[in-house]
């Protein structure tokens, strides 16, 4: 059975950081809707321009667009054995759509780890985040996880940048939207016994170890 994991948590909790580690350890693709949307930056289309404007404000991209992007990503062969979803689903219609898409593949969501963190700490992390311009899944933090050379990605040597939606205003709005639109999804998954909390206030490696342990336990359950 394929392993589809939905990583949930407030903005800044470390979904992207941990999804990258899980993806490497489990050899499963890291599917991040935020990353897929950012990759459309600079494309010459009304849709791409509209998406960048929505993200810069800290609002959610409409469900239909988001679901279509994920549907297309799931048709790629590397997603047949499972995937780590980061930042998707974020609304009830997206969660229902994911269930349909996975059912078409003869599968379902296996586990929903919830990374828990204090709001103030999340905002501090977001304000100090820098990402690689070549591969935005390479994420750094000036306070907690700095690159070896300032402004340069350790992995591929590309320059780092701050995300345009990491202003304090947009970050605060994204967190408000998490509580309003995404947190209710937890009940949807709790009803199926899939949600397991992981303390995201620990160092990155400790959070990874807790996630790996959780996945092993759930495989053997």
Whether 192 is catalytic is no
Cα 91 to its chain centre, rounded Å, is 14
SS3 179: helix
Q: State yes or no: residue 30 binds ligand AP5 (CB under 6 A).
A: no
Binding at 2: pick from Mg ion, ligand AP5, none (beta carbon under 5-8 Å per type): none
49, 174, 192, 219: the catalytic one is 174
Cα 201 to its chain centre, rounded Å, is 17
Residues that bind Mg ion (CB under 5 A): 16
Distance separating alpha carbons of residues 90 and 92, to the nearest angstrom: 7
Q: Which two tokens stand for residue 72?
A: 């297309």
Distance separating alpha carbons of residues 50 and 205, to the nearest angstrom: 37
Q: State yes or no: residue 113 binds ligand AP5 (CB under 6 A).
A: no
Q: State yes or no: residue 126 binds ligand AP5 (CB under 6 A).
A: yes
Pairing of strands 160-161, 129-132: antiparallel
Is the Cβ–Cβ distance between 113 and 35 less than 8 Å?
no
Q: Which of 6, 28, 88, 210 binds ligand AP5 (CB under 6 A)?
A: 88
Q: State yes or no: residue 52 binds ligand AP5 (CB under 6 A).
A: no
Binding at 126: pick from ligand AP5, Mg ion, none (beta carbon under 5-8 Å per type): ligand AP5
The nearest distance, CB 89 to ligand AP5, in angstroms, is 6
* One character per residue 192-221, x = contact with ligand AP5 (rule: CB under 6 A): --------x-xxx--x--------------
Q: Which of 4, 16, 95, 189 binds ligand AP5 (CB under 6 A)?
A: 16
E strands along the chain, which residues?
3-9, 30-32, 82-86, 109-116, 129-132, 139-141, 160-161, 195-199
Residues labelled catalytic: 15, 90, 129, 163, 174
């Amino acid at each position: 059975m394929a392993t589809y994991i939905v990583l949930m948590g407030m903005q800044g909790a470390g979904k992207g950081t941990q999804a990258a580690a899980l993806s490497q350890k489990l050899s499963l693709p890291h599917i991040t809707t935020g990353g897929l949307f950012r990759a459309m930056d600079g494309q010459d289309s009304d849709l791409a321009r509209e998406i960048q404007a929505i993200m810069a404000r800290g609002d959610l991209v409409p469900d239909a667009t988001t679901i279509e992007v994920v549907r297309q990503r799931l048709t790629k062969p590397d997603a047949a054995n499972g995937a780590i979803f980061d930042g998707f689903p974020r609304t009830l219609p997206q969660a229902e759509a994911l269930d349909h898409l996975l059912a078409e593949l003869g599968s379902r969501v296996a586990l929903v780890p919830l990374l828990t963190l204090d709001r103030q700490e999340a905002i501090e992390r977001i304000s100090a985040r820098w990402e690689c311009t070549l591969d935005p899944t390479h994420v750094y933090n000036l306070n907690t996880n700095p690159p070896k050379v300032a402004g340069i990605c350790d992995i591929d040597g590309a320059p780092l940048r701050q995300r345009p939606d990491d202003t304090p205003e947009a970050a605060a709005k994204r967190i408000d939207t998490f509580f309003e639109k995404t947190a209710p999804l937890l009940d949807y998954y709790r009803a199926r016994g899939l949600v397991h909390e992981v303390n995201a206030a620990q160092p990155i490696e400790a959070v990874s170890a807790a996630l790996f342990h959780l996945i092993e336990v759930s495989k053997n359950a």
